[in-house]
Structure 1
């Protein structure tokens, strides 16, 4: 019985590694099969996929549409008249390349009619545009109407003003100022009298009320500190010792020279001192006086 158990145990130990090896091979083969199936699917997908080329695809239709649109814009865009000359002058600020944010910008535009017919100046407007693309508007300013007739060989001056927004401070923009006018036949024209890149800067503040009161407060504080320091230094100083005033002692005999005065005059005019008497002597004198009587 014991020998049978030993034999079965040995047989089990021999069969167990073999079973593990076969199971492992079966799992690997199944994994390989799944991988091959997946590979077949991927290969099929690669076969069905479209290969992209690096060469750019040109669309002749789109290019033709863009060209036609640009031509239409050029045709509809107003152009300046060859018989008109314009000039611009910035009144405030003097430097047009730097405009202060939140401050009024004033400018004057000169209009010269060199033609033979009248021109009617209708309006003037300005706008901020993107510096890299002037067709992109960032801010439109107010359009000012004039409706003024300028006769041939005459000149006229027009004033315009606008205020840049504070939000645009510290950034460059394209400033475009347009002058719109028409001739006596009704043909419309437009002159871009200014079309440059400018920078919106922060305005230079002068001495405002807040700064003034701040300076006054600082000056008052400094004065109070100086007065306090002076009082403190005076309290620490020693009080001066008062000198005693000399008491008048009068003339002394040691200061007088009596040699030149005659002795008779000194004896006659010198005051005689009466000797002081004690109360007993006075009583004795009184008693003797009464006894003699």
Structure 2
């Protein structure tokens, strides 16, 4: 929106333009404001879920560190995965709990960018760590005689460090690119955290290049790791089917089933969200999917891993 006017000075026309475009300096997270009667009920539910996630994952980390029988690569990766889940939910749930308590839901551009960075970075780390855990199961089942050599402590440490570090520079550049876009319209985010699709919806101008970048990053951190996991599990299943013992096949499948369930749940919902940077689905559906992979799956993960794992249950 621009305001034009002319002035006359010494017989000459002077034309001037003033712009009344306002640049967005902060956002408002609408969260669950559309159901005001349930604010305190939701606060209690999400607080209980958050405390449950913290407690269960902390117990897994503690057990895998102090029990000598669990000093193996599989449980080393599991403890790192549990720590990752704690970090992942801590980025979103505390802010959501605060918004449920307070009427003012303002969040600055910097705080919003920081939250999005950590959500994307930790999500990318989870994709890579799930791939590493699939590789560990592949080596254990398909190359059992070389397992100790291929998956020694040094290799495991490098794989975990690579999972945590490799996405950092990419996500920094990606987040900077998104928040370099002009936001000059509405500042109301119909979501409970600064997620990528609802932020892109508020951007002004042409976002084509940014959307292409979103697809590229999604392919690198979602599809490529997922394809690797499929390859590993394809080889695992072929190897298991060659076993003559029914008991041996059952035991081999049981060591992989927990991880496979987590992979399907996480990748299914994350793919729907991030391979559609400007989804045509309703905002409520996008919120529900995000709620599932950011909160409910981290709640289920400790249950899935512990109930199906005799070593931890003992």
Structure showing greater relative contact order (alpha-carbon pairs closer than 8 Å, 6 or more residues apart): 2
Decide which structure has the larger Cα Rg and report it. 1
**Larger relative helix fraction:** 2
**Larger relative strand fraction:** 1
